Amino acid sequence: MTAESTTPPREPDAFEQAMDRRPVKGRSLWVDAWHRLKRNKAALAGAGLLVVIVVMVTIGPMLNPWDHEIPDWDHYSTPPSLETGHLMGTDALGRDLFERVMVGGRISLLVGLVATLVSLFIGVLYGATAGYLGGRVDNWMMRAVDAIYALPFMFFVILLMVVFGRNIFLIFVAIGAVNWLDMARIVRGQTLSLKNKAFIEAARASGATERQVIVRHIIPNLLGVVAVYVSLTIPQVILVESFLSFLGLGVQEPLTSWGALVNEGAQELETAPWSLLFPAAFLAATLFAFNFLGDGLRDALDPRDR
């Protein structure tokens, strides 16, 4: 037992320490994520498709001679044709479908973007507050989220539309306001786990203020999940808007959106199937592209998959 006095404390022994020092490549999260994303062909195709769609709805109406409201009196319900100049045909009122699909696309994408930003704002604020404060406040805040979570969303949005009338700003707010729950949960979970990470402790121990901790450490580390979530929320929101518009509760004439166009098309199914097919294809392609991109981003940015 003589050796005991000279033996240093047992933990952590040098061998274990040596084991902890495994080779780590000095790649940052974002560079790493970019490399993974580049390998994901489906996600890249999704991104490419989105760019095409966005460019189309942006400059398409500028190049197209027709107006989305004014009918072409010579052509009612005509199929797509180069001769008439109606690339996607006309609807029962003689309006140019290409123009309407492009203008409708602007609305659908805009709603997707704005409503997502609304839900992002509420969700991040709520979730980060709950996660950062922790304890009892967190407990109650998340219970409230759970309680609201169990409500039937879409019915509530419809109720809102019924009560407050159908206008586009209300759609933004209504959709955004019900969609923030997921974001709040995710951000809260992330904040909670970040808060206890060693590097945050280290920052605090070295004298950083709370503000610095939040701005320099918590927010940058939240960006990844937020990016993933945004790319997955936009298609959801577009879907909700088109659902409402399909029912006649969303965007109202003279404005239109893909959902409203699908609705019109579905009513002329037998006489003018193209008036269903074009908006349906654009809507589905957009959702498809967003979903693939979001999936790819999640795989690229989610550290659990490593």
Partner 1 sequence: MLNYSLKRLASAVPTLLILITVAFFLIRIAPGGPFDSEKALPPEIEANLEAKYQLDDPLVVQYVRYLGDILMFDFGPSFHYRDWTVNELIAQGAPVSFTLGAIALVLAMLFGTTIGVWAALKQNTVADYATMSIAMIGISVPNFVMAPLLVLAFAIGLGWLPAGGWDGSVSRMVLPSIALALPMIAYIARITRGSMIEVLHSDFIRTARAKGLPEREVLVRHALKPALLPVISYLGPAAAAILTGSVVIERIFTIPGIGSHFVQGALNRDYTLVMGVVIFYGVLIIVLNYLVDLVYAWLDPRIRYDN
Partner 2 sequence: MALLEVRDLTVTFDTPDGVVHAVNGLSFDLEPGQTLGIVGESGSGKTQTALAMMGLLAENGRASGSVRFRGQELLGLSTSEQTRIRGSKISMIFQDPVSALNPYMSIGEQLIEVLTHHRNLKRGPARARAIEMLRQVRISDPERRMRQYPHQLSGGMCQRIMIAMGLLCQPDLLIADEPTTALDVTVQSQINLLMGELSEKSSTAIVLITHDLGVVAGLCDKVLVMYAGEVMEMADVEPLFADPAHPYSQGLLESVPRLDREDSGILRAIPGNPPDLVSLPTGCPFRARCDYAFDACTEHPKLEPFDDDRWKRCFLESRPMPKSSEENA
Element housing 201 (H / E): helix 198-205
For residue 77, which phi and psi values (nearest 5 degrees)?
A: 45, 50
156 part of the interface to partner 1, by CB under 8 A: yes
Q: Choose which of 1, 63, 82, 147 interacts with partner 2 (CB under 8 A).
A: 1
Q: Identify the CA nearest to 249 among candidates 157, 116, 177, 113.
A: 157
6 part of the interface to partner 2, by CB under 8 A: yes
Q: Please say which residue, 17 or 267, places its beta carbon nearer to partner 1.
A: 267
**Size of residue set near partner 1 by CB under 8 A:** 45
Both structure tokens of 255? 């404005």
Instruction: Round the CA-based radius of gyration of the chain to a whole number and report it.
Output: 26
Q: Choose which of 97, 118, 160, 174 interacts with partner 1 (CB under 8 A).
A: 160
User: For residues 8-27, which are near partner 2 according to CB under 8 A?
Assistant: 8, 10, 13-19, 21-23
Which runs of E-coded beta strand occur in 38-117?
none
Q: CB-hemisphere CA count at 13 Å for 98?
A: 22
The entry of partner 2, partner 1, none that residue 14 binds, CB within 5 to 8 Å by partner kind: partner 2
User: For residues 210-249, which are near partner 1 according to CB under 8 A?
Assistant: 235, 239, 242-243, 246-249
156, 233, 294 from 302: Cα distances, Å? 32, 17, 11
The entry of partner 2, partner 1, none that residue 141 binds, CB within 5 to 8 Å by partner kind: none
146 part of the interface to partner 1, by CB under 8 A: yes
The answer to whether 80 and 88 have CB atoms below 8 angstroms apart is yes
> How far, in Å, CA of 212 to CA of 76, rounded?
64
Q: Identify the CA nearest to 229 among candidates 170, 301, 167.
A: 301
The answer to whether 84 and 71 have CB atoms below 8 angstroms apart is no
CB of 196 to partner 2, least distance (A): 22
The entry of partner 2, partner 1, none that residue 19 binds, CB within 5 to 8 Å by partner kind: partner 2
CB of 18 to partner 2, least distance (A): 5
Residue 269 CB neighbour total at 10 angstroms: 11
> How far, in Å, CA of 190 to CA of 107, rounded?
33
198 part of the interface to partner 2, by CB under 8 A: no
303 part of the interface to partner 2, by CB under 8 A: no
The entry of partner 2, partner 1, none that residue 62 binds, CB within 5 to 8 Å by partner kind: none
Both structure tokens of 19? 């084991």
User: For residues 27-86, which are near partner 2 according to CB under 8 A?
Assistant: 39
Binding positions for partner 1, rule: CB under 8 A: 42, 143, 146-148, 150-156, 158-165, 235, 239, 242-243, 246-249, 259, 262-263, 265-266, 269-270, 273, 276, 280, 283-284, 287-288, 291-292, 295
Binding positions for partner 2, rule: CB under 8 A: 1, 3-4, 6-8, 10, 13-19, 21-23, 39
